[in-house]
Homo-oligomer: A and B are copies of this chain.
Amino acid sequence: MSPNRLEAFSDGVIAIIITIMVLELKVPHDTSITELLKLLPVLLSYVLSFVLVSIYWINHHYLIHLVDQVDRLILWTNLNLLFWISLTPFVTAYMGENHAAPLSVAFYGLVQTACSISFLALRRAIARHHQYEAELKTLHSKKFRKNQIAWLLSALSIPLAFVSVPLALLLVAAPAVMYFLPAKAEYESKH
């Protein structure tokens, strides 16, 4: 399988995931301001998930771009990543509809942690092929470190949700943004 096809399929799945989340915004059947405001938590969790999935999409693009040949391990670690990202619409609605109750935030953090670890696993599967290319090897190790901090922070948000929901949400959002956002230079490199 060529990396292009793998990327096109992944892009398709991610485009669907990011879009169907909006179906969880249930339309209120009266038009009072109160009813509309009740949607705010669902809307806010949608915004958070939209940003997080966007970041996965961007990082996935830069990572797959380094692949020369898709082997079985890359194929399945990629499908594994898509599986965990596909749970995002569910946990988004779960957290939104329950007004960020501790258990729902912990569950959201759990799925984010799984996404982060899956991304790390995909990077490992790809880095295996780059052991003798000094430049790529260095790139991967720098990213590994960032990725490990990211999933640890996400994982910390799980118990923290039962202590302080705002802090847990901060932990879920912060490392993802910090880590997964590629450095400015990368965007301006070719492709």
Contact = CB atoms under 8 A, between A and B. Distances in A.
Contact of A187 (B31, B75, B83): B75
A7 B93 CA distance: 28
B20 A97 contact: no
Contacts of A72: 184, 187-188
B98 A30 contact: yes
Given A17-B19, A187-B75, A27 B27 contact: no
A57 interface: yes
A32 to B, nearest CB: 8
Interface string A5-19: 101110111111111
Interface residues of A, number: 60
Contact of A83 (B9, B50, B87, B98): B50
Max chain B Cβ within 10 angstroms of own Cβ: one of A25, A36, A71 = A25
B31 A102 contact: yes
A71 B187 CA distance: 5
Contact of A71 (B47, B87, B188): B188
A9 B57 contact: yes
A31 to B, nearest CB: 4
B79 A54 contact: yes
B1 A191 contact: yes
Interface in A64-115: 69-72, 75, 79, 82-83, 86-87, 89-90, 93-94, 97-98, 101-104, 107
Nearest to A86: B22
A142 interface: no
Given A12-B16, A54-B79, A72-B187, 20 more contacts: A1-B62, A2-B191, A9-B14, A9-B15, A12-B12, A16-B16, A18-B86, A22-B86, A22-B87, A22-B90, A23-B23, A23-B89, A27-B93, A27-B94, A31-B98, A31-B102, A33-B103, A36-B107, A50-B79, A50-B86
